[in-house]
Amino acid sequence: AITMDVEEIEGIGFLPRDLIIDILSRLPVKVLHRFKFVSKRWRSLISFDPHFKNLHCIRSKGSPKLLLTRYDYMYNFDAMRFESTVHFTVIDVFDKSFYNHFTAHVPDAGCFTISCCNLACLISYKTIHVCNPSTQEFVKLPDLQGRTFDPVVGFGYLAPANAYKLAILAVRGYIFDDEYGEIPYDNDM
């Protein structure tokens, strides 16, 4: 059924809601972010409508977006210090202005993953944020408890439940071998 309301007729001309959904659901997230300021109706549609989100997710599966960073830590026994190297892999990610907005919320983020459903996960040592790039809204998840190393985060959209699920695998504690051969280990996991 084709539906329309007064705001759409007065604000942008006579465009049926179904046609607007069909057109907008084919656009990249960067463009959608700009279009959410066209009207209150478009902002509501882009930001909150589950049918629109699902349709956009399905149509964007052909080009998943990914930005990963990986830290390699190494102990230099000669210099008695830790050294680290950061490796970046970037695949079809947003422009620099969005990246700056992104990192302003979690300045020490260690890994960014943008799923096929256009959600982003920002991970630091103790915090995890999930972001909707189309609305630039951030949700801070409960803090990771204790010391964690290299958390691996996966998330996805479950269409039947209309819900996003997040799974975190993190190693807590440490193993360190000193000159006497002792290996202390925190087994409170």
Judged against a pLDDT cut of 80, whether residue 171 lies above it is answered with no
| Chain segment 57-89, per-residue pLDDT in tens | 777 765 444 444 444 445 555 555 545 444 444
Which residues does residue 163 pair with via DSSP β-bridges, in sequence order? Answer: 158
Judged against a pLDDT cut of 60, whether residue 178 lies above it is answered with no
| Chain segment 13-48, per-residue pLDDT in tens | 567 888 889 999 888 877 887 888 888 888 888 888
Judged against a pLDDT cut of 80, whether residue 186 lies above it is answered with no
Angle between helices 17-24 and 40-48 (to 10 degrees): 60
Q: What angle do CA 95, 98, 102 make, to 5 degrees?
A: 135
pLDDT of residue 9: 46
Percent of the chain with pLDDT over 70: 35
Which contacts (CB < 8 Å, 24+ apart) does range 164-172 have? 164/117, 164/119, 164/130, 166/121, 166/128, 166/130, 166/141, 168/128, 168/144, 170/144, 172/145, 172/146, 172/147, 172/148
| Chain segment 91-111, per-residue pLDDT in tens | 344 445 555 655 666 655 555
Q: Where are the domains of the chain?
A: 6-59, 66-147
